[in-house]
Amino acid sequence: MPTSLFDNRKSVIHRLNPVTKLVALLAIIVIVFAIPVWWVSAIVLVVVIVPAAVISGSGGRLLSLSLKILIPILLVLFIVQGLTFPGGETILWRWGVLKLTTEGLLFALGVGSRIIVLILASILLVLTTHPGQLMSALSEHGMSPKFAYIISSTLQLIPAFSDRANSILLAQQARGLSLKGSPFRRIKVMLPLLSPLVLGMFTDVEERSTAMEARAFGSPAKRTSLIPVPDTTLQRVLRWVFVALALGAIATPILMGIL
């Protein structure tokens, strides 16, 4: 049973130090939100994310996972902003008080492009980075083991939650639970499953806490990594380049405003 979404491959992207990939993700997020125009997000998507996904060999899983998340978000975004955007003057279609405007669609395009980049880059990080390696790399770079564990465990939250939900659902179906019928009936049937799901997650947290205490997780002593995560001078330089690009993206709107 998988404990993370990590896609175990031997690509160049997988072999990068997790800190390098994490800094790159943060830099990408800063860039697309600091310069809020859709074509900047498009450039980041085409020049950075798509090639990285192809090189990693995880493009198929990335597309499958991201579409499940993005399709409902983008549909709601374009419908709501396209029909109710305040101040829209270029009307493409009207029905009563609702009107589809060019300004609303452009606004939705700007927000949607940033959401696409954010979700794709985040999922790609999860697919190409083992949580254990990420925790070790963060600890080696001076981060507190507690904070490193919080970041690492976040990558395992979704698959762990999904696995427990599937286990509970299969157990209930073995006891005669039927999911057939209208969507409203299915929702009504699924509601009682929330209680064991939430209680089970609390139990998992308690068990992990006990296991961590037994291994002296909170000890202030200096730790050594069983499997050191490789790092190179080139990657250390790249991390500073990513930081510089992020700072440049923050400064660009300010300078343009001054000019």
pLDDT in tens, 91-119: 777 776 677 888 888 888 999 999 999 99
pLDDT at 259 over 50: no
Please report which residue ranges of 129-232 form alpha helices under DSSP H: 131-140, 145-174, 183-190, 194-214
Domain boundaries, the chain: 9-129+232-259, 144-216
pLDDT band at 154 (very low <50, low <70, confident <90, very high): low
The DSSP H or E segment spanning 92 is strand 91-95
How many angstroms separate the CA atoms of 94 and 136, rounded? 56
What is the pTM for the complete model shown? 0.76
Name every residue whose Cβ is closer than 8 Å to that of residue 148 and which is 6 or more positions away in sequence.
134, 135, 138, 139
